[in-house]
Structure 1
């Protein structure tokens, strides 16, 4: 049967990248390709957090208002999240190498425009353009990894890809702070340009072109529905903490986006060439992995959001100090994946047990940070290392479970699902765990305080050391409640994902081995 030639993307006798690689399997330049795609991924993830430390400079030099600053940060995340599904589908249909190059070019052009922007509106528009490139890069990088690595090396490769993601998240504030110590705010974007140029040359030289030979016609209605629905829902999640979850400005886009996504599901079930095969959600392996993604990002995204507040408001760290203090989490993720420890554990335990044990370890880390993180840094460090180890084990196993449940030729769509659910889980985690925190904080405040919006706002309404201490203790108790709720969500996700995946793996193993032969009669 004719399949896709990994060099040309055309139908031909080459089965896949293993034909070029010989006995070792996979593409002969697969580790160099992994380095290239991880470099592209790193700049994308860095830009999720690098701007946070530049807020004072943006406010003074561009005259940016609070709303302007929020949109400088949120425009990138909003566009990126809204386009992930469509970007993955486009990579499958039109070629993963082509979309990877397009993503690098768009991201580089957006970075140049952002670095040279002379107004708040110009910077917001440039950040939105960077979000388009980021959506293409996040989906195509993982899809390329799936194409050039065979099953035996894929967990290690995906683990390294995930570790770079964690490293970029943690390094953003540190890199931003170091750059701003020596240059003006625009330099945090211009440092992307040389990385993009190197990436364009390396991708053109090394990455093979692959695409789905049965892509069919573009699913334009599906693209429109997914973009509108995802953008509306993500907008509601992003603006909820600012405007209030019951305000019309949040409820209307949330309900509208949910209705549009329901229409998207209905359309995809009837479409001749769907952007996303809804039949995947009937498979236990895929459903279990999806559950794991949502709950692990729900718990970890929300708990890490609360952790930054704990470091800055309770411990008194600056934004840069907070980034440095969180760094052991990301460094542990990097360590367990770059040493191959995660891949070996996944191979020994299997996906269900690796996901369940990794998420249980992560939940334990959240609980440690919640219960002892308010004291010396030693207790928090212990919790961060546990969190990093659990994330380093669970995340690659979850990504492998999702991508392994999807046909290899639809790897872009699988990466889009993985990225979209991660974004949604993180946003919902920040929203829900933030609400738990605010509720607990408000319940413990003295009667003289009538707001629980923030610690500074509450402290401004009290006088005297005793009342100030009471407000601070209420804030810390609220953070603890939110972090423990996040730990419970991650633990629940590990149990559910492990059970669903275990049920899916057993029938597949039984089918592979066949029925047990009856005992031979003597």
Structure 2
């Protein structure tokens, strides 16, 4: 029997006399359960992109509708992470995780059976809602149930799944599309939910914040509006145009809502959804900035790599995804190694080492990529990137979660996840735009002898150029070589921009990186009594 004071954490009994934390065997099961649940969410983020042509044919839908089917999942996920993470802290992380798994599983099954684009859009929206319940809670369960000496290793496994799971999900999705149908893409997340649900029900202890504070409804609503507005800009800006009315309106709404959120949270202080004053903590700031940049660069690399492998090298979607697996494997291995390195040299040195390796990887890809060099011209850079990202992600995640007290781990985990989502959207938008502009600037001088019709099509992008080559007659090979060479030039523009971003991040982490071990809580000690009545 125990009584929890406001601000403390309540957890269910672990079965170990005198201890509030689960035993070693149960902790392993907990880690497997939350990683399986996380894998379902991550795979659904990346998987559907490989089936765009199949979806367009099945539903007779426009490219804009297909992109919304893909993007609405990410939009709803990112928008609801922070309020649902905070709600999980209050009502209990286990019931929130179980509810999220149920919503996500049903919505994924509905998407797989969808008879129309409208039903698919609704199913993907609710999948995003379920994912927003799952993703922050999986990390919060780890940080609130694992003892301090094991927390770093567990977070390393979580970050490895979060970082490399997307590539694995793309590979499995591409395989399913090739051998079966796009509808089979949703078998994977449903199967993962079927595995994770009973494991969660049986093994994951409940924990929640025991607080008399009212829920910050205004903060939750303004955060949702801010995230929706800003993510919409990043998703739609490249297609609609950065100065289009819808883009500018969304940007204005997002910025105003973000300002209102910060002002309100400063006013609420002790009862805030997210105490924005915590960003004065160098661990929280360094971790957030690092994840923003690393996930942005990672997402931008995929924007560049897939057209290179498919349009330049002529590989299938399945083979192109398989080509990314070495980077994913090294990323996951480095994520597991990072806690040991952090224990020896500290989180700042570990983060800086990872960022430096990632910067070197980008520079290698920018320097040596070529049409004739093929896959081997980019492989060394990919491998360095994988190791670097793995080493930097784990201490960054731990720096964020350690900056908030244990009873607010749902919020800490949601902040970690929102940062990842914003980084991904930024990377796709900005590096994708640099690739496109570099391609267009380079191809004009190579099209002097090509007829106007095919030349105009080729200026829109490499995929259009390869299609237009069929109508270019004797100029077909000239057009293909022009498009491939121009793509490589655009690649270099994007990669050198990534190098500049990572170099600036490296200097920032050296100067302002976390000094203390990332697993030591910054704001509050562990509750002395964490056992439930």
Instruction: Normalising by structure 1, report the TM-score.
Output: 0.89
Quote the residue 1:469 is aligned against.
481
Distance in 1 (alpha carbons) for counterparts of 2:173 and 2:479: 36
How big is the shift at 1:198? Answer: 2.5
- Written as runs of structure 1 = structure 2, the 5 A alignment for 1:105-254 is 105-214=102-211, 216-254=213-251
Find out whether 1:495 has 2:507 as its counterpart.
yes
Please say if residues 82 and 418 of structure 2, whose CA atoms lie closer than 8 Å, have aligned partners that are also in contact.
yes
Change in 2 beyond 3 A, CA 1:191/1:300: closer
How big is the shift at 1:376? Answer: 3.5
Distance in 2 (alpha carbons) for counterparts of 1:284 and 1:17: 38
Change in 2 beyond 3 A, CA 1:483/1:18: farther
How big is the shift at 1:220? Answer: 0.8
Find out whether 1:6 has 2:11 as its counterpart.
yes
How big is the shift at 1:286? Answer: 1.3
Quote the residue 1:516 is aligned against.
none
- Written as runs of structure 1 = structure 2, the 5 A alignment for 1:311-460 is 311-337=309-335, 340-374=336-370, 375-446=373-444, 452-458=459-465, 460=468
Corresponding residue to 2:307 among 309, 312, 331: 309
Distance in 1 (alpha carbons) for counterparts of 2:17 and 2:390: 27
Please say if residues 78 and 235 of structure 1, whose CA atoms lie closer than 8 Å, have aligned partners that are also in contact.
yes
Q: SS of 1:153's equivalent? A: helix
Please say if residues 465 and 479 of structure 2, whose CA atoms lie closer than 8 Å, have aligned partners that are also in contact.
no
Please say if residues 404 and 412 of structure 2, whose CA atoms lie closer than 8 Å, have aligned partners that are also in contact.
yes
Please say if residues 92 and 215 of structure 1, whose CA atoms lie closer than 8 Å, have aligned partners that are also in contact.
no
Quote the residue 1:288 is aligned against.
286
Distance in 1 (alpha carbons) for counterparts of 2:434 and 2:17: 49
Distance in 2 (alpha carbons) for counterparts of 1:180 and 1:469: 30
Please say if residues 302 and 433 of structure 1, whose CA atoms lie closer than 8 Å, have aligned partners that are also in contact.
yes
Corresponding residue to 2:77 among 76, 80, 96: 80
Q: Deviations over 1:142-166 (max 9, x none)?
A: 0001012122211211111111123
Q: Deviations over 1:473-506 (max 9, x none)?
A: 1221111110121122123223212321256779
How big is the shift at 1:28? Answer: 5.5
Q: SS of 2:149's equivalent? A: coil
How big is the shift at 1:450? Answer: 5.6
Please say if residues 288 and 498 of structure 1, whose CA atoms lie closer than 8 Å, have aligned partners that are also in contact.
no
Report the more deviating stretch, 214-223 or 413-422.
214-223
Quote the residue 2:98 is aligned against.
101
Change in 2 beyond 3 A, CA 1:192/1:289: closer
How big is the shift at 1:441? Answer: 2.0
Quote the residue 1:19 is aligned against.
19
Q: SS of 2:252's equivalent? A: helix
Q: Deviations over 1:352-382 (max 9, x none)?
A: 0000100111111122222223313233222
Quote the residue 2:88 is aligned against.
91
Please say if residues 156 and 337 of structure 2, whose CA atoms lie closer than 8 Å, have aligned partners that are also in contact.
no
Distance in 2 (alpha carbons) for counterparts of 1:470 and 1:42: 40
Q: SS of 2:114's equivalent? A: coil
Change in 2 beyond 3 A, CA 1:498/1:153: farther
Q: SS of 1:212's equivalent? A: strand
How big is the shift at 1:464? Answer: 5.3
Aligned length: 498
Please say if residues 350 and 395 of structure 2, whose CA atoms lie closer than 8 Å, have aligned partners that are also in contact.
yes
Please say if residues 26 and 150 of structure 1, whose CA atoms lie closer than 8 Å, have aligned partners that are also in contact.
no
Find out whether 1:484 has 2:496 as its counterpart.
yes
Distance in 2 (alpha carbons) for counterparts of 1:243 and 1:61: 25
Please say if residues 347 and 516 of structure 2, whose CA atoms lie closer than 8 Å, have aligned partners that are also in contact.
no
How big is the shift at 1:27? Answer: 6.3
Quote the residue 2:62 is aligned against.
65
Q: SS of 1:211's equivalent? A: strand
Quote the residue 2:261 is aligned against.
264
Distance in 1 (alpha carbons) for counterparts of 2:65 and 2:151: 42
Distance in 2 (alpha carbons) for counterparts of 1:446 and 1:87: 49
Instruction: Normalising by structure 2, report the TM-score.
Output: 0.88
Distance in 2 (alpha carbons) for counterparts of 1:325 and 1:505: 36
Distance in 1 (alpha carbons) for counterparts of 2:23 and 2:386: 29
Distance in 2 (alpha carbons) for counterparts of 1:457 and 1:420: 34
Distance in 2 (alpha carbons) for counterparts of 1:370 and 1:325: 18
Distance in 1 (alpha carbons) for counterparts of 2:237 and 2:97: 33
Distance in 2 (alpha carbons) for counterparts of 1:360 and 1:187: 40
Quote the residue 2:275 is aligned against.
277
Q: Let me know the Cα RMSD of the aligned residues.
A: 2.6
How big is the shift at 1:279? Answer: 1.5
Structure 1: 5+ residue stretches without partners: 510-522
Please say if residues 48 and 173 of structure 2, whose CA atoms lie closer than 8 Å, have aligned partners that are also in contact.
yes
How big is the shift at 1:65? Answer: 2.0
How big is the shift at 1:105? Answer: 0.7
How big is the shift at 1:225? Answer: 0.6
